[in-house]
């Protein structure tokens, strides 16, 4: 051990290199963490809950949109598709604005393959795809995570 200490005492450049390298690594980690924390207040995250029901022979799907992010989000367009990307229903009405930690609801009439939704009303997970476009043209896709029942 004394040989290692005497070697380090004679080679001061080695210790300077190690300390400089540690300083650079810690600086990079600090920059990455501060960038991630800086983006957090502007994060957009949505959650969708579909509620299928039948009224007067028409198949309807209520979509509950929950804003789990930190910024108010405006919804411009919602499309409901099956797994083969056949559009079953669409919402193209006026924009829906959802504030952080709040929810909004819209109704969509299923105009194609109503029997497909009716057969899978209990569990729509991996049976339908819901695409949501916000006003900044960001696309959110939901395939599962829907409640069962």
- Do residues 24 and 68 both lie within one domain? no
Tell me, yes or no, whether 148 lies in a domain: no
CA 89 to chain centroid: 22
49 within some domain: yes
- What is the band of 35 on the pLDDT scale with cuts at 50, 70, 90? very high
Q: In Å, what is the CA distance from 41 to each residue of 16, 17, 19, 119, 136? A: 39, 38, 35, 41, 17
DSSP state of 66: E
Q: What pLDDT is attached to residue 24?
A: 97
**Count of domains observed in the chain:** 2
Which residue range(s) make up the domain with 52? 44-142
Same domain as 58, residue 71? yes
* Same domain, residue pair 66 and 102: yes
Question: What are 2-16's pLDDT values in tens digits?
Answer: 888 788 778 778 878
| Start-to-end CA span in the chain (Å) | 69
Residue 147 inside a domain? The answer is: no
Place of tokens 């540690």: 22
């Amino acid at each position: 051990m004394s040989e290692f200490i005497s070697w380090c005492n004679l080679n001061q450049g080695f210790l300077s290199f190690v300390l400089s390298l540690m300083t650079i690594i810690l600086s990079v980690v600090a920059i990455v963490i501060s960038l991630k924390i800086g983006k957090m207040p502007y994060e957009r995250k949505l959650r969708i809950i579909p509620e299928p029901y039948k009224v007067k022979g028409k198949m309807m799907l209520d979509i509950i949109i929950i804003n789990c992010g930190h910024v108010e989000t405006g919804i411009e367009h919602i499309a409901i598709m099956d797994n083969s990307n056949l559009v079953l229903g669409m919402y193209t009405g006026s924009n829906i604005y959802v504030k952080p930690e709040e929810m909004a609801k819209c109704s969509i009439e299923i105009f194609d393959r109503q029997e497909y939704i009716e057969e899978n009303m209990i569990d729509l997970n991996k049976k339908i795809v819901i695409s949501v476009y916000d006003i900044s043209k960001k696309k959110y896709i939901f395939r599962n995570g829907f409640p069962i029942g």
